[in-house]
Structure 1
Amino acid sequence: MAVIAVYSVKGGVGKTTLAANLAWCSAELDRQRTLLWDLDAAGGAAFLTGLDPAGKKRAGGVFARDRDPASVIRTTAYPLLDVLPADDSLWALDRQLTSIGKKRRLAKLAEELGQTYPRIVLDCPPVLNEVSAQVLRAADLVVVPLPPSPLSSRAFELVAEAVREMGKGHPPMLPVLSMVDRRRALHRAAMEANPGWPVIPWSSAIEQCAVRRAPVGVFARSSPGARCIAALWQGIERKLAGK
């Protein structure tokens, strides 16, 4: 079992779109039973996989152990891909986890869910608090999407610092240049400065994910964006295999 966290302290970097598409790649391309766990109260991950809001505030109860995660998990139209959706109760997740006082509550829940799901993809909120600390304790790999900009570079340093503070047991990080437009000099410079980082291009097909409410591989499998995300997933699997 492996937990892959898609995390940034900055919003608007394509985090949720990337998390949903990576989870789909795990299920569709690798045929692994996969859970997309939405920790962001905005609830975008379920939306992007075609699920409508359930209308019940149940996600927080999973952390309080008042509710069995199986009662909250929903199946998608895609074989082997399930979603543990977010709802408004997660706006208080930082306070809830602090009150519970169990620093590995998320990790323990992930371990239990891992008996059913060999791959768990976390769509993390853009925060730096107890939620992010629990994510870093639970994750086997942290994927950090970064549009080429100085603010994104600063956000990456904040994530890297939080990871380093964990000491020797911290999970590896995988920075990913996202929403890259090769026509822009700043974006080309970012690629040249970080030649080993995966690149997800700016893509009208990827933007259509929110319109079609489906992973890009479902409706534009041969598009550059879909191929880059599939290649990224393959790279993630290689990293997990080499741990």
Structure 2
Amino acid sequence: MAKRDRTLPRIAGSVIANRLRAAPTPGPTAATIAVYSVKGGVGKTTIAANLAWCAAELSGHRTLLWDLDAAGGSGFLYGLEPHASRQATDMFSREEAPDKLIRRTDFEGLDILPADESIRTIDATLTAIGKRKRLARLAESLGQQYQRIVLDCPPVMNELSAQVVRAADLIIVPLPPSPLSARALELVVREVADHSKRHPPILPVLSMLDMRRALHKAAREENPAWPMIPYASVVEQCAVQQRPVGAIAPQSPSAQRFISLWKAIEHKLAERRS
């Protein structure tokens, strides 16, 4: 068997963000963006929730934030709790439409498909039904209603992560500066190579970056083209106020970093369609 090519496309985020200022607004074609890492505690949910806000508020896309993590962090960051009587895995196992699970947020054009405890069994459910592209098919169907779908993914390597890779048009990998994070990126690259023939682009993002720390400063200097999200109190306030940074402090450096990251994403999606 021929060895798979593990040299996958990556995005030079800061360069793209600068070029985007003169780029045309992307068209209405739907796209699925996965925020994924095999390591927990890397700022994944915060990034997913803020990117979804950027998609709806800045680009004017009808956007769905889809929480695939049993912790339910994305819904919490928007003040939503899952309904105990509803089962998030029903759309996978029973092929039921997800419409009844989708919740509106306080922000126009931004909805959430929240997680609940049933998500804990989703890997077994997907394995049992034997449909390798079930998540991709659901995302394709939801793409009739939403121009952008942002997946908040759990830190796993199993059938769910394989299906996420097959469904995604773009994969965001949050990486707090540490040797374990560097290893996590290589594991994501391997996961993409193993489960997707078309190799969706991977965008590493330095998250929770504190330039007062030598290790963090060195990581930034080593990867100057990667987008970064700073470690800042205003980002922590997302969980306290249950609103995105752009709604709390739109002029803050953290809000501007999320906006730059979103512009890089939109540019890459437009580039792939051209």
TM > 0.5 fold call:
yes
Unmatched segments (≥5 aa) in structure 2: 1-29
Contact 1:178 1:199 in 2 (8 A): yes
Give the stretch that moved more between structures: 115-124 or 66-75.
66-75
Give the stretch that moved more between structures: 161-170 or 101-110.
161-170
Contact 2:89 2:118 in 1 (8 A): yes
* Aligned counterpart, 2:172: 143
* Aligned counterpart, 1:109: 138
TM-score (norm 1): 0.98
Contact 2:79 2:242 in 1 (8 A): yes
For 2:54, which of 25, 41, 49 is the aligned residue? 25
For the residues of structure 1 that align with 2:153 and 2:195, how far apart are their CA atoms? 18
Alignment partner of 1:209 is 2:238 = yes
For the residues of structure 2 that align with 1:167 and 1:32, how far apart are their CA atoms? 27
CA shift for structure 1 position 53: 2.9
Aligned residue runs from structure 1 range 19-168, under 5 A: 19-166=48-195, 168=197
For the residues of structure 2 that align with 1:67 and 1:47, how far apart are their CA atoms? 24
Aligned length: 243
Q: Deviations over 1:124-153 (max 9, x none)?
A: 010000000000000000000000001111
Contact 2:86 2:101 in 1 (8 A): no
Q: Given residue 136 of structure 2, which amino acid in structure 1 is its aligned partner?
A: A
Residue 88 and residue 169 in structure 1: after superposition, are their counterparts in 2 closer, same or farther (change >3 A)?
Answer: same
For the residues of structure 1 that align with 2:180 and 2:196, how far apart are their CA atoms? 26
* Aligned counterpart, 1:227: 256
Q: Given residue 2 of structure 1, which amino acid in structure 2 is its aligned partner?
A: A
Give the stretch that moved more between structures: 47-56 or 83-92.
47-56
CA shift for structure 1 position 168: 4.0
Q: Given residue 160 of structure 2, which amino acid in structure 1 is its aligned partner?
A: V
CA shift for structure 1 position 66: 4.5
Equivalent residue of 1:4, what SS?
Answer: strand
* Aligned counterpart, 1:193: 222
For the residues of structure 1 that align with 2:95 and 2:145, how far apart are their CA atoms? 20
CA shift for structure 1 position 110: 0.3
Q: Deviations over 1:171-222 (max 9, x none)?
A: 1100000000011111111111112110111110000000001111111111
For the residues of structure 2 that align with 1:56 and 1:205, how far apart are their CA atoms? 34
TM-score (norm 2): 0.87
Q: Given residue 157 of structure 1, which amino acid in structure 2 is its aligned partner?
A: E
For the residues of structure 2 that align with 1:207 and 1:182, how far apart are their CA atoms? 17
Q: Given residue 121 of structure 2, which amino acid in structure 1 is its aligned partner?
A: A
Contact 2:63 2:111 in 1 (8 A): yes
Give the stretch that moved more between structures: 115-124 or 51-60.
51-60
For the residues of structure 2 that align with 1:204 and 1:147, how far apart are their CA atoms? 16
Equivalent residue of 1:169, what SS?
Answer: coil
* Aligned counterpart, 1:2: 31
Residue 201 and residue 138 in structure 1: after superposition, are their counterparts in 2 closer, same or farther (change >3 A)?
Answer: same
Give the root-mean-square deviation of aligned CA atoms: 1.0
Contact 2:166 2:196 in 1 (8 A): no
Contact 1:14 1:179 in 2 (8 A): yes
For 2:42, which of 7, 13, 19 is the aligned residue? 13
Contact 2:165 2:196 in 1 (8 A): no
For the residues of structure 1 that align with 2:228 and 2:95, how far apart are their CA atoms? 41
* Aligned counterpart, 2:208: 179
Q: Given residue 126 of structure 1, which amino acid in structure 2 is its aligned partner?
A: P
For the residues of structure 2 that align with 1:126 and 1:9, how far apart are their CA atoms? 4
Residue 43 and residue 168 in structure 1: after superposition, are their counterparts in 2 closer, same or farther (change >3 A)?
Answer: same
